[in-house]
Amino acid sequence: MKLSEAISLGAMATEHVTHAFIIINEDGSIVTCAIGSALYAVGQHLRWSAERNYISMRWRWVVSNRAQCPGCGGHFNAMAAIMHLNDSHRWSRERIAFFVSMIEPQEQVLLEDQREEQSVSEYVEVVT
């Protein structure tokens, strides 16, 4: 799954928040930033301490690629740009997902999808 798709998916299931990845409220409702919504979409929202590491392991380009903020022109790595758009410009996660879809590499996504399929088939082999 592309990061842009994960952000969009998580945004459909959770409310928006700034300056936090994920907050689970006492009533069970969940609020997420753009990064948090992606974590939620891939089922990693309960791994508190590993959140930032998980993002950079699954979508490595977010820490290696540079991005220019479309709001103010500032230069960041892609991860910081996403957080900056969420927290400083208060963009919706849907709008951030569209921005991410324009900067994310296609080749790496294919490799990640293959790895996902491989791990799923390994899981199926263990279960059956």
Task: Give me the amino acid identity at 75.
Answer: H
Q: How far is the CB of 27 from Zn ion (least distance, A)?
A: 33
Interface with Zn ion includes 80 (CB under 5 A)?
Answer: no
Interface with Zn ion includes 74 (CB under 5 A)?
Answer: yes
Q: How far is the CB of 97 from Zn ion (least distance, A)?
A: 17
Q: Which is nearer to Zn ion, 42 or 97 (CB)?
A: 97
HEC string of the chain equals CCHHHHHHHHHHHCEECCCCCEEECCCCCEEECHHHHHHHHCCCCCCHHHHHHHHHHHCCHHHHCEEECCCCCCEEEHHHHHHHHHHCCCCCHHHHHHHHHHHCCHHHHHHHHHHHHHHHHHHHHHHC
Q: Which is nearer to Zn ion, 71 or 105 (CB)?
A: 71
- Identify the residue among 50, 72, 111, 120 touching Zn ion (CB under 5 A): 72
- Identify the residue among 1, 44, 71, 101 touching Zn ion (CB under 5 A): 71
Of residues 4-63, which lie at the interface with Zn ion (CB under 5 A)?
A: none
Interface residues with Zn ion (CB under 5 A) are 69, 71-72, 74
